[in-house]
Chains A and B, each alone.
Chain A
């Protein structure tokens, strides 16, 4: 008796100790700020088609800062953070503002599901509810769970039965939820406050499922040597968490990442019944039966996923917030560019949002028609390309850091309708860099290129060849035309016409009036 009393006391003491460590729940942040990083071009139709479990959720990168107010009691406490972004990368979480710092941080993802409920209740007493087949009345018995989610066996009155193998309605009623199971993965921190009080803490972490890219639209009026350039910040949120009215930054530049920043995807335990065969198909098993190895029983599978229901996928609005002349000035973040959005925005779950950040109405550009020879022989499939050349400087109407992204070019036709003229992508363009936008092939500038003569050395190696390239301008306007010969390795170029060397190419420039023809002859040598 004395022993028993002591043990009870000990249990009571233990319980008191446990309750001395208070659980504090921080339900939601007071404010959130998001910094988007650029990983790849945002393609909304790809995001639309990606399923809910697609690994695309793991791509994209954002840095999220939350301000939260918590009331801490004096002494040790565990603070649980609810309402964090579902794609949080838990090991990147950082909590500032706790009175004595964090003793440890935990991220628990043992999910409450029918399977885990059963698995954690093995050996526990539960109530088994059945229906009396005659009266339809409810019969409640005490049962002990003997095996878990791979097929439950329970014990009633010293006998053993299997759950859901009799085709009769039956269910288990549990007294409580076993410890450690949680509805959603939860971040918590263990800390100690010297005195009770209200604290403002900053929780910051990296999350995936958020990405941004720049998208540029260039408009060209007929005959003009200026184009209008608009740049859009395209923000994509393909996580399950929406952000309401939050300050947003976008960071341009290439960050190094290790691939380790992936959200933890908790897999709920799957519940199966694993019964013996109960559906007998006589036709399928004619006598004498074959002697197969005993196959597993038919599986009745209940798959429970812990995904919260995503927002309505049918309506993915492409919200466009446009202020026709709006520009956002880049700030420096180390060697990156940081674009703070001028006002808080709402970034809903599964939404692509665009905000204008560049508006340059008069950007000087040069339209050049270009023909390139890459090998030692002309490729008959090589077309004349149309290239728009810009220089990213103030005197040309630009002079802004331009983050990497796609450029769509529209040209206004003579009747005033804009026509899509082609698309290209640019890398991160610092100020003063030259920019080239290839819009497509030219129809009206036919080129004929041929090798007219070549010589070889005694061993059969080609050491000299003569090229002849003829171009005709069939357009009604004069054009600037370029021929580029890639002079790889030790090639030498002999040409009477003046040429320039740039980035490994020899380049000849021509100005061709309407209907004008020009022929270029040059030779390439490969000295021994």
Chain B
């Protein structure tokens, strides 16, 4: 198959050297946002002087403006990217003014006649001159074959990158072709097995690489860049997944880094096939983690129904930076089998950060807020009396981290049934213990501030 491909290249590319089969070393650097840098090293035989090199096996989603060919002993004259694609109708359009052969089948006998014809126009129908007659192709509805002598030079089966080089000497040259391509992207997928008794989190990270670029990359050295790089373009997606980082870390991860990004290199060369999602393990980490019940409210109001408390898993990623991805948390059921228990997005997270991953809501732990009263202190200040009924239907006591937002300048607690902490200027926090199969009512009065 390889040999036949070489033969065909020789037949079709009269005048142009095909750079198809000397591909030697591929390196690919994949970014998070649907972009990859491909570096393609090969050895090419060049005659002295100008030669047009066609690169047919580059990515089908190449950004041709970014292509660059480098190497010693030659200069680049020009590079072209041709995307006038070969189809039957295109071939007929390009045949205007040229001669074609038409083969007609005579009904009844089935005999075939061959005639030369000149294409006069192709506008909603093909007008031909056959001898001295002017005819419309297939106007009689009879089977008519059309045979062309050649394919117009500019029509190609695939979009093709060609580079014209000027070599000082004939002979093999080592060249490196680099370009950016879309259709390749990656993100991380984490499998986090949480043991709430032992307070540990077993974290496995997988790099998930997706190739929709239309081309396979054989035995490529593959690197992945974690970080948000800026890309210009007509459309920019500035959406960020909700951040689960509570406090960004200051440790340096032991991954390689380039500029301000982390770089992950796959341990061996891989083949990234077209239409493939490839996953490679890159992280195996055991960390301490604990489960936290949280309830956060942004104003002072009543709810008619109890609201379930959030269940968060809090941990710190010591040692390792975590690239952006989805973290799926698993818990063991009574039989010891891991079961899916919820997932959260995490952003690019430096090592040593404090993370808080929300996995879901607690069935048995609920909070029901009631605004007992509100009265005006001055034009901008209000005194709110709140009552929070926390219920726990579990057979063990729990502590709910309750956060009350909505304080303004000078806002303060006047009375409270449990001591509060000031989390930040506008937020109060209580750690509310709720007994097993019991309830706790937290009441407080605040001056909202202005």
Q: Which A positions have Cβ atoms within 8 angstroms of B?
A: 11, 33, 35, 37, 61, 63, 65, 90-94, 101-111, 122-125, 132-136, 144, 146-148, 150-153, 159-163, 165-168, 180, 204, 206, 249, 251-258, 260-261, 264, 266, 273-280, 282, 285, 289, 291-292, 294-297, 331-338, 401, 427-428, 430-433, 489-490, 501-504, 527-528
Q: Which B positions have Cβ atoms within 8 angstroms of A?
A: 1-2, 4-5, 8-9, 12, 85-93, 101, 103, 105, 109-112, 122-126, 136-139, 141-151, 155, 157-158, 189, 191, 194, 196, 206, 208, 216, 241, 270, 273-281, 291, 301-306, 308, 311, 326, 328, 331, 333-334, 337-345, 358-366, 368, 370-376, 382, 391, 393, 437
Q: A267 CA to B315 CA in the complex, in Å?
A: 40
How many A-B contacts at CB < 8 Å in the complex?
298
Q: A204 CA to B338 CA in the complex, in Å?
A: 10
- In contact, A427 and B89 (Cβ under 8 angstroms): no
Q: Contacts of A527 on B, CB cut-off 8 Å?
A: 375-376
Q: A252 CA to B375 CA in the complex, in Å?
A: 41
- In contact, A261 and B148 (Cβ under 8 angstroms): no
Question: In chain A, what residue has the closest Cβ to B112?
Answer: A133
Given contacts A276-B126, A280-B139, A430-B366, contact A146 B149 (CB under 8 A): no
- In contact, B138 and A278 (Cβ under 8 angstroms): yes
- In contact, A94 and B339 (Cβ under 8 angstroms): no
Interface residues of chain A: helix, strand, loop or mixed (majority) = loop
20 residue pairs of the A-B complex, CB under 8 angstroms, read A90-B277, A92-B189, A108-B275, A109-B276, A110-B275, A133-B110, A134-B110, A134-B112, A148-B158, A160-B151, A168-B143, A206-B340, A252-B363, A253-B361, A255-B360, A276-B92, A332-B334, A334-B291, A401-B364, A433-B306
- In contact, A428 and B308 (Cβ under 8 angstroms): yes
Report which residue of A105, A285, A502 has the largest number of chain B beta carbons within 10 angstroms of its beta carbon: A105
- In contact, B374 and A489 (Cβ under 8 angstroms): yes
- In contact, B88 and A151 (Cβ under 8 angstroms): yes
Given contacts A122-B157, A161-B148, contact A280 B138 (CB under 8 A): yes
Report which residue of A109, A168, A256 has the largest number of chain B beta carbons within 10 angstroms of its beta carbon: A256
Q: Contacts of A111 on B, CB cut-off 8 Å?
A: 275
Q: Contacts of B391 on A, CB cut-off 8 Å?
A: 430, 432-433
Given contacts A294-B123, A428-B308, contact A165 B326 (CB under 8 A): no
- In contact, B370 and A503 (Cβ under 8 angstroms): yes
- Nearest 5 A/B pairs, CB to CB: A504-B302, A151-B87, A162-B88, A110-B275, A430-B393
Q: A292 CA to B302 CA in the complex, in Å?
A: 68
- In contact, A180 and B216 (Cβ under 8 angstroms): yes
- In contact, B370 and A285 (Cβ under 8 angstroms): no
Q: Contacts of A260 on B, CB cut-off 8 Å?
A: 326, 343, 345
- In contact, A162 and B112 (Cβ under 8 angstroms): no
Q: A167 CA to B191 CA in the complex, in Å?
A: 57
Choice from A333, A335, A528 contacting B339 with Cβ under 8 Å: A333
- In contact, B89 and A125 (Cβ under 8 angstroms): no
Q: A252 CA to B341 CA in the complex, in Å?
A: 11
- In contact, B88 and A273 (Cβ under 8 angstroms): yes
Choice from B2, B89, B359, B376 contacting A528 with Cβ under 8 Å: B376
